[in-house]
Amino acid sequence: MENNNSANLRVGFHSIEILLEISPENIKKIFVPANRNDKRVQNLIVMAENAEVSVERKKSLTQHPEAILKNEINLGLSDLKKYEESIQHNNPTFLVIDNVIDPRNLGACIRSAAASNVAGVIINKHHCSPITPLVRQVSAGGAEAIQIFTVTNLINAMKHFEKLGYLILGTSEHAETMHTQLDLNQPTLVIMGSEEDGVREKTLDKCSQICTLSRNKSINSLNVSVATGVILFEIVRQKLV
């Protein structure tokens, strides 16, 4: 069962393996299921031992391992601005999550973001699921692999990126322009909302461009995690051409 109060808890092989690769010094202890001794568990134990991280078998765990971190770092708007200044490439993509309440959808969006190598993910604090252990588990390690920023005023964040010359790209099933018709080979802030309500109108009003991902007359909306993958990998395709 998910524990929303366990900010320092990580669940699942993917998340823990990535943490062991990128920041083992921040892992306090790893717990593995007492009744599992398969290759996946053995490999995790070896990784932990090599990184000098303590491992303990736990009877209450039956399938997934868990890890307790020493420190949980929360990044906000000021951190985002500093990070944007420090990134080494000059054509970044940031994903904004504006209106996704379901933690599984949020986790899947973050997984797509990590797979498409976005520079970072920006989450609207008051209109999204928080980053819970379930979100991290569904992200399959994505939440550990990329920078995630939580902002309380998304409009201010959008204005900051607009001043920097970013394309502020909103997505809506009601838009007339297809995403494939746009020049996405430029610094881009792409904004995704839920499949039920989409991106909020207040947010769409601040976008410099709005696009749709489908012109199917019968079913014109996609699950938000699928839609996120579609738009992010079109951006990747154009930037690699």
pLDDT digits (tens, 9 = 90+) for 114-126: 999 999 999 999 8
- Whether residues 32 and 89 fall in one domain: no
- Count of domains for the chain: 2
Beta strands in the chain (DSSP E): 9-11, 27-33, 55-58, 66-69, 93-99, 120-124, 148-151, 167-171, 188-193, 209-211
In a domain, 194, yes or no: yes
Decide if 4 is inside a domain: no
Domain contains 1: no
Q: Are residues 102 and 42 in the same domain?
A: no
Q: How confident is the model at residue 173 (pLDDT cuts 50, 70, 90)?
A: confident
Pairing relationship of beta strands 27-33 and 55-58 according to DSSP bridges: parallel
Does the structure show a pLDDT above 70 at 3? no
Question: pTM, whole model, 2 decimals?
Answer: 0.84
Bridge partners (DSSP) of residue 194 are 198
Residue 194 pLDDT: 82
Q: Write the CA distances from 130 to 32, 122, 151, 172, 187, integer angstroms.
A: 26, 12, 11, 23, 26
List the CATH number of the domain containing 53: 3.30.1330.30
Residue 226 DSSP symbol: H
- 64 and 86 both lie in a single domain: no
Pairing of strands 209-211, 167-171: parallel
99 and 18 within one domain: no
Residues 28 and 137 reside in one and the same domain: no
Range of the domain at 191: 77-240
pLDDT tens across 189-240, in order? 999 988 777 888 889 999 999 998 887 766 667 789 999 999 999 999 999 8
Residues 134 and 223 in one domain: yes
